[in-house]
Each structure stands twice: as structure tokens, then as C-alpha cells.
């Protein structure tokens, strides 16, 4: 059993997929199926020993925000009806918090470089979180965005020499895949809500940003990943069944995510 | 992925010290010669092999009061200078050294240094036997005792005294393990 739980494939794909699947199936009738994203992410974080919060390093601050985002999303989903403006505001909020996450790295850089790097991260996080969170009304597109962003960030992080962030990214992708799969099997959409979309946006963006700040991911790969929530907005045939739309939307987002991973690989050559 | 790196062993050579500034004082202060100081570590690799690495840059000082049988030992190690000899990617996307520098292991972007602050020097007769202090790595501080397995102190042959009043030069070396 221990060997199985210590297997990286189990940790980064099977366990988060199962966690996402169980949570989606168990809670979608309560409009809480969107908790799948954070369930998968936390399952992997727990298995690889990253669910710790002291000392408060950049990775642990990231974990705190990864937990705070769906909690905030859940609150918003039930307290009021969040619209597009809420998504944009949350994008700005989490972008500002990303400075806090990486402050211990930024302070060690020369001021100009810290400003440029920090500014780039802020823009990336704001963009990705806002555009992903605003997919809350369309669970197929939201699930596809989570799949593409998670797997793209995960494989790109692997190429950038950080296994733990790679596993966390892949976990997000696997859990989002489970969320999509339930919709495909049911043949209907289930609520994603801000609880899902905010978790996907924050976790995906911060994992990618961490791979840049703490490993060797490049800005080009980050820019390609930023296109994932845009790719999730590409046209889908309205008459297609849910499973067909889910596959097509996933192809869109996986093309972006795969492009980022491919660029990360080429950068190592 | 299971972490396999621990700070298993640390050996330091401190060969080029300058002798005390005032001859009357009993406290001797030595600065670590970064070109002849090699902190190294080793770790078990999945039970199949022992992986050894070193840090190419370390600075610090060692003070010793032989009369009072006391002293301090501070060393700052630049974690980005780690070197396991694996610098060629070959067909891999990364070298082992590149991976060790990321947040999976030494996290050099966030923690560019590790430090040892020794506040208690234990003597065995006139020789230094061990140094007790705190090792700070990745933001975590733990008590560590360094055992001195070699201790040699004598005149530095590279330096020549220019006058009788000149501060004599000395050379000392130590091998320490944790």
C-alpha cells in the first residue's frame, strides 16, 4: 500500500482523479460538485507531504491560497450571485496576494528586476484568475480550462525541474478531468460555480508562477498558459451533446497547455 | 516524489586563517578561506547508492579562546553553489544539480544560504573536540553538534613576517563532521 501511495503516478493523477470523481458524484446535487478541484489538489498535496504551513515558505503560502480560493468561492456562490465583475475583482485580489506569496524570493532580487518579475507575475495571475473565474456559468468550459491549465502547468513545471509543482499541476488537471467526466457520463451540465473556477484559476496560475520563480520555467511558457482560459471560450457547437462539447473544449485547452509544456521542453534542448 | 536529500554529513576544511590581531588577547579569530573550504553532504539514493555533493562557496569565521575553553563558529554556505558533478543534461530535460536547486530540494531562489552558528566549543585537552550550535536550512533551525575529527594549527608557510612587530600569520585546518 505504501509503495502504491508513494508512486508519483498515483500521487499526481490517480489519487486526485478519484478524489475529484468522488466529490463531484457525491456533492453535485447540492451544487457543490465544484469542490472537486480543491479535493484533487489537496489529495496530492497530502500524499507528497506538502500540506504543511510552517515555516511559511512561498510554497506553503501558495497552499494557503489554494485552500482560501475555493472557500471564498463557496461563500460567494451561496451568499450572492457572483457575476463577471466579481471574477475580475477576485483576479485583482489574488494577483495582489501573489506578491505576498513570492515576496521572499522577490526581496532577494535587485529592485528593478524584482519590480519587473513581480509585475509580470501579478499580471499573469490577475489575467488567469479573472478569466478562469468568469467561466463559472459554464461548467463544461470551466472543466476544460482546469484540465488544460492543470496539465499544461504540471508538465511545463516538470520540464522546468520541479517535481512537486509538476505533481500539483497535474493533480488539478486530473481532478478537473473527473469533474468533466461526470458531466459527460450524466449527459448534462452540473454547477461549477466560483468554488470550482476560482480554485482552478488560483491554483493553476500560482503553480505555473511558482515554477517560474522557484525553478526554470520561462515567460513564454507562462504566456501560453495564460491563453488557456481564452481557449476555453472558443466556439462549441450548441447542438452537440455535453460529452462532445467537453471533448472539443478540452482539445482547445489541452492544445494551449500542451504548447506550454512543449515550449518548456524545447527550452531544455 | 519522496525527498531523498538530507544533510547527512558536512566536512569543512578551514586551512588559511589569520592569527589574532592583538597578541595579548587570548581570543583568536580565524576567517574561513573560501577557496579551501569544502562543506559536503551525502545522502542515500533510494537504498541503492550514496550520492555525494558539495558546496563550492562558504564563508565564515571561527573564534577560539583557549584559556577560557570557549569559542564560536559561524559559517554561511551559498546553496546555489551546490555541485554533485552532474552538469550535463544529455537527453534529460534537466541535470541533477538543476533539480537540486529548485524548491523540491534546496530551494536556492528562496533560501540562497544555509547557516551554522556554533555557540559552544567543546575541548578535549587543548584540542577542539566538537562545536555545538544551530543549523538553519530552508527556514528551519535545528541544533547540530559538529565533531572535530581533525584539528591542526600552525604557521602559514605562504606568509612571511616582515618585522618582529608584525602580526604573525598562522594556518590552521579542521575536519568536522555532523
The DSSP secondary structure of A43-55, one letter per residue, reads HHHHHTT----SS
What is the rounded radius of gyration, in angstroms, for the C-alpha atoms of chain B?
A: 18
Q: Which of B15, B24, B28 is nearest to B126 (CA)?
A: B28
Asked if residue B175 is part of any domain, the answer here is no
Report yes or no: B4 at the A interface, CB cutoff 8 Å: no
Tell me the C-alpha distance between A168 and A62, whole Å: 11
Residue B93's domain is classified under what CATH number?
A: 2.40.128.110
Q: What is the pLDDT of residue B118?
A: 94
pLDDT recorded at residue B34? 82
Quote the minimal CA–CA distance from B65 to chain A in Å.
36
B116 part of a folded domain = yes
d(CA B72, CA A139) in angstroms, rounded, equals 62
Residue B100 lies in a domain: yes
> Is residue B90 exposed (0-12), middle (13-18) or buried (19+ Cβ within 10 Å)?
exposed
**Selection from A216, A229, A85, A38 nearest residue A152 by Cα:** A229
Per-residue pLDDT of chain B in tens (178 residues, 90 and over written 9): 333 333 333 334 444 443 344 434 578 888 888 888 888 888 898 889 999 999 999 999 989 888 888 999 999 999 999 999 998 888 888 899 999 999 999 999 999 999 999 999 999 888 888 999 999 999 999 999 988 888 777 777 766 543 333 333 445 566 666 6
Residues pairing with B53 in the sheet? B41
**Beta strand ranges found along A48-104 (DSSP E):** none
How many domains in chain B? 1
Q: What is the pLDDT of residue B91?
A: 84
Residue pLDDT, tens place only, A182-203: 999 999 999 899 999 999 999 9
Percent of chain A exceeding pLDDT 90 equals: 83
Identify the pLDDT of residue B24: 44
CB contact under 8 A, B93 and A265: yes
B93 with A161: Cβ contact below 8 A: yes
pLDDT at residue A50 in the model: 85
**pLDDT number for residue B152:** 77
Q: What is the mean pLDDT of chain A?
A: 93
Q: A interface mutation test: which of B46, B103, B111, B139 has the most A CBs within 10 A?
A: B103
- The answer to whether residue B177 sits within a structural domain is no
* pLDDT value for B12: 42
Closest-CA residue of B relative to A105 is B110
Q: What is the pLDDT of residue B169?
A: 46
Q: Do B110 and A57 touch (CB under 8 A)?
A: yes
- Residue A108 touches partner B, C-beta closer than 8 Å: yes
Whether B134 is covered by a domain: the verdict is yes
Q: Would you say residue B52 lies in a domain?
A: yes
Cβ-Cβ contacts under 8 Å, B89 against chain A: 268
The confidence score (pLDDT) of residue B176 equals 63
In the structure, what pLDDT confidence band is assigned to residue A38 with cuts at 50, 70 and 90?
Answer: very high
pLDDT for the residue numbered A9: 86
Query: Which ipTM was obtained for this model?
Result: 0.84
pLDDT tens track for A123-172:
999 999 999 999 998 999 999 999 999 999 999 999 988 899 999 999 99
Quote the cell numbers at residue A118. Answer: 513581480
**Residue spans of beta strands (DSSP E) within A38-123:** none
Note down the domain range covering B34: 3-169
- Has residue B174 been placed in a domain? no
Q: Name the least confident of A41-45, A107-111, B10-14.
A: B10-14
Least Cα distance to A146 among A60, A43, A18, A249 occurs for A249
Looking at residue A80, the DSSP 8-state letter turns out to be S
The pLDDT value given to residue B17: 40
Closest residue in A to B107 (Cα–Cα): A214
- Rounded to two decimals, the pTM is 0.85
Residue B11 lies in a domain: yes
Q: Edge-to-edge strands of the sheet including B170-177?
A: B27-31, B58-65, B70-78, B113-124, B127-137, B140-155, B170-177
* Closest chain A residue to B113, measured at CA: A108
For residues A96-115, average pLDDT: 95
Amino acid at each position: 500500500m505504501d509503495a502504491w501511495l508513494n508512486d508519483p503516478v498515483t500521487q499526481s493523477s490517480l489519487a486526485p482523479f478519484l478524489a475529484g470523481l468522488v466529490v463531484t458524484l457525491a456533492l453535485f446535487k447540492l451544487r457543490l460538485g465544484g469542490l472537486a478541484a480543491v479535493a484533487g489538489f489537496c489529495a496530492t498535496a497530502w500524499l507528497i507531504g506538502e500540506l504543511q504551513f510552517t515555516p511559511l515558505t512561498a510554497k506553503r503560502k501558495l497552499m494557503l491560497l489554494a485552500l482560501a480560493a475555493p472557500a471564498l468561492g463557496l461563500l460567494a456562490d451561496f451568499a450572492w450571485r457572483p457575476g463577471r465583475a466579481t471574477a475580475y475583482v477576485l483576479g485583482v485580489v489574488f494577483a495582489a496576494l501573489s506578491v505576498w506569496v513570492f515576496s521572499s524570493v522577490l526581496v532577494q532580487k535587485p529592485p528593478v528586476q524584482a519590480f519587473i518579475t513581480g509585475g509580470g507575475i501579478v499580471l499573469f495571475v490577475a489575467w488567469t484568475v479573472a478569466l478562469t473565474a468568469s467561466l463559472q456559468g459554464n461548467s463544461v468550459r470551466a472543466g476544460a480550462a482546469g484540465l488544460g491549465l492543470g496539465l499544461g502547468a504540471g508538465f511545463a513545471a516538470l520540464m522546468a525541474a520541479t517535481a512537486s509543482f509538476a505533481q500539483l499541476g497535474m493533480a488539478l488537471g486530473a481532478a478537473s478531468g473527473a469533474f468533466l467526466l461526470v458531466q459527460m457520463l450524466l449527459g448534462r451540465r452540473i454547477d461549477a460555480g466560483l468554488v470550482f473556477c476560482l480554485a482552478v484559476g488560483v491554483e493553476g496560475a500560482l503553480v505555473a508562477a511558482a515554477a517560474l520563480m522557484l525553478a526554470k520555467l520561462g515567460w513564454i511558457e507562462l504566456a501560453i498558459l495564460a491563453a488557456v482560459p481564452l481557449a476555453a471560450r472558443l466556439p462549441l457547437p450548441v447542438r452537440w451533446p455535453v460529452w462532445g462539447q467537453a471533448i472539443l473544449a478540452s482539445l482547445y485547452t489541452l492544445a494551449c497547455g500542451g504548447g506550454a509544456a512543449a515550449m518548456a521542453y524545447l527550452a531544455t534542448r | 516524489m519522496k525527498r531523498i536529500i538530507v544533510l547527512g554529513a558536512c566536512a569543512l576544511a578551514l586551512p588559511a586563517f589569520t592569527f589574532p590581531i592583538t597578541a595579548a588577547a587570548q581570543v583568536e579569530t580565524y576567517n574561513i578561506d573560501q577557496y579551501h573550504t569544502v562543506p559536503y553532504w551525502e545522502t542515500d539514493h533510494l537504498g541503492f547508492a550514496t550520492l555525494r555533493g558539495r558546496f563550492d562557496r562558504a564563508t565564515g569565521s571561527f573564534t577560539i579562546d583557549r584559556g577560557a575553553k570557549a569559542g564560536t563558529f559561524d559559517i554561511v554556505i551559498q546553496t546555489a553553489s551546490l555541485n554533485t558533478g552532474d552538469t550535463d543534461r544529455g537527453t534529460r530535460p534537466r541535470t541533477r544539480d538543476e533539480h537540486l536547486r529548485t524548491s523540491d530540494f534546496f530551494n536556492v531562489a528562496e533560501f540562497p544560504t544555509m547557516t551554522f552558528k556554533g555557540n559552544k566549543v567543546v575541548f578535549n585537552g587543548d584540542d577542539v573536540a566538537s562545536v555545538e550550535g544551530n543549523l538553519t536550512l530552508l527556514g528551519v533551525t535545528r541544533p547540530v553538534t559538529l565533531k572535530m575529527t581533525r584539528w591542526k594549527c600552525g604557521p602559514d608557510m605562504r606568509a612571511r613576517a616582515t618585522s618582529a612587530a608584525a602580526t604573525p600569520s598562522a594556518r590552521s585546518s579542521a575536519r568536522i563532521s555532523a
